[in-house]
Amino acid sequence: MINQKFDDVLTLEREAPKYKGKDFSSDQEVRWCPGCGDYTILKQVQNSMPDLGVPREQIVFISGIGCSSRFPYYMDTFGMHSIHGRAPAIATGLKVSRPELSVWVITGDGDSLSIGGNHFIHALRRNVDMNILLFNNEIYGLTKGQYSPTTREGFVSKSTPYGSIDHPFNPLRLAHGADGTFLARAMDRDPKHLNKLIKRANDHKGTSLLEIYQNCIVFNDGIFEAFTDKKTRPRQTIYLEHGEPLIFGKEKDRGIKLDGMLPVIVDLSDPNVSEDDLWIHDEKDSEKANLLTKFFDLPSEEEHLPRPFGVFLDVDRKTYDDGVNIQVEETKKRKGAPDLDALISGGETWKIT
């Protein structure tokens, strides 16, 4: 009977925890500007957490510096408001030392792509098993409206009064160049789709990058309006679904086919055009994912290519944290292997009394 009760306890402990979204809301006052897109992102992250099946004590949110980086305070999980641009480095150390944890990095376009650019690309290259949510509002919001690495050319800001002359980063194209294994894009004003992609990012083994278009209502309001306004959205956006043709438009009357490796928009009402001619999205095709990342700067003779949203790429590759831990275990088994714990604690150490 005693053994049976003990087995029952173990069974209960192994069951996935039952949470609701509100269980991930902390008691801290949320301090963002009224109308900020961060509110929607926070809500969808909280709503998605119960579906992950991970205990709250095994979830960690690590942020850098910026408006988005207040995020860990508002999640009822473990978290850390860390150093400007260095969240991926800190998250890497945590994941290597505690591989059982679900690690999330919260960052903005300035935090990750300017001072943190080095850490950002190397996390992707190493393929550390963590999730990066990159809030892109194309401006520095916390420091009051200076231009950022994603600000568009010609944009007038407090630090570019005559218009920015910098060529902006395309975050997903940069991430693809760093050999990222999971690349996706969502926006704050499409919460259902955002929720879906947060879960997809979690399911990926390796570094998942989810770029989220986030409206800064004070310093860059409406910068993504073409993709969110009901009138322009059907022609300006395209939603990617694995195994499905690339079709968009209010009447689903536009499609994209490949002329060699050049994306071309076609009119599906043309009797000479068939859906069979269209580009079929494949999340495993890295070369086509690279083309998709360029959609906002590749020209088209007929009209501008729509901005893609969804999962661009989802491929498998060995993770850095697994590699480190496997190497450590193999080293321990070797004859005459050093005691790693003794090496770490030995040498010049101080005992505080």
pLDDT, block means (10 residues), the chain with 353 residues: 42 66 96 96 98 95 96 97 96 96 97 95 98 97 92 92 94 98 98 98 98 96 94 96 97 95 93 94 98 82 86 98 92 79 70 71
Torsion of CA 140, 146, 152, 154, to 10 degrees: 170
Whole-structure pTM value: 0.90
Q: What are phi and psi of 132, to 5 degrees?
A: -110, 120
Q: Which residue is it, tokens 């150390």? A: 93
Whether 246 contacts 279, CB under 8 Å? yes
Q: What is the DSSP letter of 306?
A: P
Q: Which of 13, 74, 46 is nearest to 199 (CA)?
A: 46
What residues pair up with 105 in beta bridges, in sequence order? 62, 132
Confidence at residue 110, expressed as pLDDT on a 0 to 100 scale: 94
Domains of the chain: 15-223 (3.40.50.970), 226-317 (no CATH)
Q: Which of 203, 176, 198, 174 is nearest to 187 (CA)?
A: 198
Distances (CA, A) of 120 to 7, 70, 206: 44, 19, 14
